[in-house]
Amino acid sequence: MALQAIPRAERKGLVIVYTGNGKGKTTAALGMVVRAIGYDWRILMIQFIKGDWMYGELEGFKKLAPNFELKRMGKGFVRIMWDKRPIEDHIQAAANALNYARENLDKDYDIVILDEINVAIKEGLLNVQDVIKVVKNRPAYLTMILTGRNAAKEIIELADLVTEMIEIKHPFKKGILAQPGIDY
């Protein structure tokens, strides 16, 4: 028996925010991707921070095509010890990513994920009001998911659903480094 999605004309797109200092924000968004693909929905994920790092999801994403499309538009993690890029490069990359989102909201997607956009706002790469305009101008059926630590209060107020991931315990504090297949 095939799953039947609610027609777009009858859908109420949501604004969903995954934030907090704990792990799992992008992973929660990807869980929704798997569910949505079960209904043959199309999903666009735009990464605002993650740059040319190689990680396991990239290979896994290929298996979700053609329903899932990833645009890696960030220049890497900003303002961390090995970030040698001028801040202007990060600002331009974030602006390009937001423009890409704006231009693709009505391109037959059912969900658009703005991955790490909360970090881009917090780090001053994007203006929160510019992001809010993009979110408010989406088609009525389109769900948008915004991930990243430190979600701005304006983003939280705009959202229909906000989940905060809270770190209780982390293996790094025991000296265990990030694990392939688990962390990246």
Q: What domains can be seen in the chain, in order of their start residue? A: 12-75+85-148+155-165 (3.40.50.300)
Cα(14)–Cα(22) distance, rounded to whole angstroms?
23
The confidence score (pLDDT) of residue 1 equals 46
- Where is pLDDT greater, at 113 or 169? 113
CB atoms within 10 A of CB 114: 26
Positions marked catalytic = 21, 23, 25-27, 35, 77, 82, 116
What pLDDT, in 10s, does the model give residues 25-78? 999 999 999 999 999 999 999 999 876 666 677 788 888 999 999 999 987 776
Span 156-160, average pLDDT: 98
What pLDDT, in 10s, does the model give residues 130-146? 999 999 999 999 999 99
Question: What's the pTM?
Answer: 0.90
Q: Exposed e or buried b for every residue in 48-82, given b needs 16+ CB within 10 A? A: bbbbeeeeebeeeeeebeebbbbbbbbbbbbeeee
